[in-house]
Amino acid sequence: MLNDFINQFWPATIDGLAFGSIYALIALGYTMVYGVLRLINFAHSEVFMIGTFGAMFVPFVLGINSALTGIALVGVIIAMILAGMLASAGTAIALEQIAYRPLRKRGASRLAALISAIGASIFLQELFALLVIPEVFNRPQQGRIQMGLPRLMERTELFSIFGHSVRVDQVLVIVAAIGMMIALDALVNRTKIGRGIRATAQNPEAAVLMGVDINKIVRMTFLIGGGMAGVAGALYLISYENTNYYIGFLFGIKAFTAAVLGGIGNLRGALVGGVMLGLVENYGAIFFGSDWKHVISFTILVLVLMFRPTGILGESLQQARA
């Protein structure tokens, strides 16, 4: 077993970093909404799911059915990421307007918002299973099966580490995710919108007195978090070439685990938690088999909630400083 771990260490590490990057991007949506509203947005998993379909719409419309190269490939990848961001961000804003804002205006409890989130999640799953997939993608009676994407880029080796190849799609996922996280960190810490987000997270009443438009800040928070989930959806689709109407369930729970592991409400904690979860999952699969991946993830969630509920970094968004 130890020999298996040694032999598979580098492939498992690269795969873990790629999956962990996707978890981290999704986790950013959970952590931002929690930091501002103290709300766990469980419908965020479906925001990711819709991002995968938004990205899939691009090659579907363009009629792409074979691998691309050069400028054409770059253009399609950028278009898929933008489409995923647009679909997910639009969904996140709609959720805020329809499922959460009316409850906030009435001063409803957090339990009511949580129930609303679960209801919205189920609604979006069934909507895509019954209506969107059959109608938009011309797959009648097939909304509940996995949908594949034609290979857009060849899985060529970019470089190797100790004799183990690192593919171009894996590097794309990791680099793109890191770039988006750096951009988000800069936005939250160095811009006017970011100051508004941090002020609202720290003290909403004082933020209002200082002229901060709370509704605008909440809307921007959902927009940014949704956009990150859309990027994650596009990167997942490009790399793993499949999606379905319930794909958000497991990814959403694992991204929530990553957010809790790193420190819920902490942007950098989402990155740390996502990467750590991806690595631990893959390392655990070497010892116990791939069927145990989900068990490992949920075990980590339970253990963190039991022994360190504040997460690894612990600091929340409301405590961040300019």
- Residue 233 and residue 188: Cα distance in Å, rounded? 22
142 pLDDT band, cuts 50/70/90, is low
Strand partners, 242: 148
pLDDT recorded at residue 83: 96
pLDDT recorded at residue 138: 62
Long-range contacts of range 290-295, CB-CB < 8 Å, 24 or more positions apart? 294/250
Q: What is the pTM of this model?
A: 0.91
> What is the per-residue pLDDT across 97-114, written as a single tens digit (0 to 9) for each?
999 999 988 888 888 999
- Residue 73 and residue 66: Cα distance in Å, rounded? 11
Q: CA angle at residue 14 from 75 to 183, to 5 degrees?
A: 50
Ramachandran region of residue 191, left (φ > 0), alpha (ψ -120 to 50) or beta?
A: beta
Extents of the domains making up the chain: 30-246
Q: CA angle at residue 21 from 117 to 32, to 5 degrees?
A: 40
> What is the per-residue pLDDT across 228-258, written as a single tens digit (0 to 9) for each?
999 999 999 999 888 988 899 999 999 999 9
Cβ-contact 169, 177 below 8 angstroms: no
Across the range 155-168, mean pLDDT stands at: 83
Tell me which amino acid residue 229 is: A
pLDDT recorded at residue 322: 39
Q: Lowest mean pLDDT: which of 83-87, 94-98, 152-156?
A: 152-156
Sign of the C-alpha dihedral, residues 35, 36, 42, 43?
Answer: negative
Is 318 a residue whose pLDDT tops 60?
Answer: no
Locate tokens 């290979």: which residue? Answer: 151
Cβ-based neighbour number of residue 110 at 10 Å:
12
Q: What are the start-end ranges of the H helices in 98-191?
A: 101-105, 110-127, 133-136, 168-190
